[in-house]
Amino acid sequence: MDFFDEMLGDSNGAQGASFREPFAAYGEWLDNEEPKRILKKSAQAEAFFRTTGITFNVYGEEDADERLIPFDVIPRIISASEWRRLSRGIEQRVRAINAFLHDIYHRQEILRAGRVPFELIANNEAFLPQMVGVNPPGGVYTHIVGTDIVRTGPDEFFVLEDNARTPSGVSYMLENRETMLQMFPELFSRIAVQQVSDYPTNLRRSLAASAPAACAGKPVVAVLTPGIHNSAYFEHSYLADQMGAELVEGHDLRVVDGRIAMRTTQGYTPIDVIYRRVDDEYLDPLNFNPDSMLGVPGIMDVYRSGGITIANAPGTGIADDKAIYSYMPDIVEFYTGEKPILNNVQTWRCSEPDQLQYVLDNLAELVVKEVHGSGGYGMLVGPAASKQEIEDFRAKLLENAANYIAQPTLALSTVPIFTEKGLAPRHVDLRPFVLVSPERIDITPGGLTRVAMTEGSLVVNSSQGGGTKDTWVLEE
């Protein structure tokens, strides 16, 4: 399989190849750098990440140690024209997702029109009956969206999945840039790169603009975290600090006079907007999982009455369900009247007998994922799997076919990483972060580039050993 090398073009990393235009100025700098200096800077970057405490936890492992996400100092560079096209496609998709969520929890016109099967919603665990008829403040369901994009050629971009519940990773995007600015300040004086440092300010502004009608005065914003043992706790505390918002846990909050209030040294103070990093199931023990110790009893009742904004809104998981994903081209066209600017990856729904049969017949060539899976868990990468792994997965499919979708194994583009032996191509994807408020949509230029650090691997998730790169979008 041939892979598009974003730095060198179609040469697949051939020695002596010229740099593609977006990398031209960087390549000129790189050619004049001593490899030993770059290796030294790589070690300094790792030390910086460790000192700062930029770590994550891996669930299900006995040692449960906090880990650093590997960071590579070779940036991924995107031209201004490439970014314009991506931005238009992302905004179109996000608008369609918000319209879809409003429709699904109200008139359900897309179901009546037969563009999405009724049973795909009715039998979906991500659909929350408690949200039917609820109008979120400002009409916004997905305040923060992470859209995963892959590239397969010079002009070929595909949306791999939509993260509409609680997308993570933005803190790594910000810290990657801060690290690069410290390690290589001279690069940013010679190459005009669009900034990402205003994301926390934009996030705060966007959340405040989505405050409920009950808000009086300047909106009070808080980040709701499950606590220090959550894998993304660093990000929760980091964003709260950067926004100047309160970091709270469920036990810090209670319902007071029809509002959600947080405990302070002066008593309980009402909150207007909660940026929650707690899953739906654990958000409210009175309405969802009664055993939850992470949420706030009664918060859904306050939300339904317009006393609090929850970002993202409960029930948004129906939009990033991987079976729903296969209908996104229809969803975009239904709500925007336009063809999608960014295409989906071809997807087979294993819930349908004829498509299941195709998947079973071609497991060795396909990537199979759980409908509600994330983090790279519970998936099969056919070309990299053993015969036994394929047969074990075949049994899972036959036992619960509706729990899976399948996609072709894409020829993901590569961007080099820096190793002791020099540059080596590795596969990447991209997660741009989108902020949605009643007045506007902001897309941070670039996003988080995740990289499969293992040679030949297509799995970029940090929980599976993936790393990250700084993503540069060039100025016009």
**What is the residue extent of each domain of the chain?**
21-212+308-344+410-473, 348-408
Please write the tens of the pLDDT for every residue from 436-476. 999 999 999 999 999 999 888 887 876 667 899 999 999 98
Are the beta carbons of 417 and 453 closer than 8 angstroms? Answer: yes
Q: Domain 348-408 classified CATH 3.30.1490.270?
A: yes
For the chain, how many residues are written? 476
Residue 65 scores a pLDDT above 70: no
Are the beta carbons of 235 and 170 closer than 8 angstroms? Answer: yes
The pLDDT of residue 55 is 62
The pLDDT of residue 463 is 67
Q: What angle do CA 437, 438, 439 make, to 5 degrees?
A: 90
Give the pLDDT mean for 106-127: 94
Residue 424 scores a pLDDT above 80: yes
Residue 392 scores a pLDDT above 80: yes
The pLDDT of residue 12 is 52
The pLDDT of residue 66 is 63
Single out the residue of 419, 423, 429, 420 nearest to residue 452, CA to CA: 429
Residue 373 phi, psi dihedral angles, 5° rounding: -75, 160
Sorting pLDDT into bands at 50, 70 and 90, what band is 17? low
Residue 312 scores a pLDDT above 90: yes
Which residue do the tokens 């990033």 mark?
A: 320
Which of 9-13, 192-196, 351-355 has the least mean pLDDT? 9-13
The pLDDT of residue 68 is 77
The mean of the pLDDT values for the chain is 92
Give the pLDDT mean for 131-158: 96
The pLDDT of residue 237 is 95
Q: Which residue has the higher pLDDT, 1 or 411?
A: 411
Residue 380 phi, psi dihedral angles, 5° rounding: -120, 125
Give the pLDDT mean for 183-208: 97
Sorting pLDDT into bands at 50, 70 and 90, what band is 167? very high
Residue 90 phi, psi dihedral angles, 5° rounding: -65, -45
Sorting pLDDT into bands at 50, 70 and 90, what band is 52? confident
Residue 60 scores a pLDDT above 60: no
CA distance linking residue 306 with residue 214, whole number of Å: 7
Please write the tens of the pLDDT for every residue from 32-41. 999 999 999 9
Other beta carbons within 10 angstroms of residue 414's beta carbon come to 22
β-partners of residue 469 are 72, 449
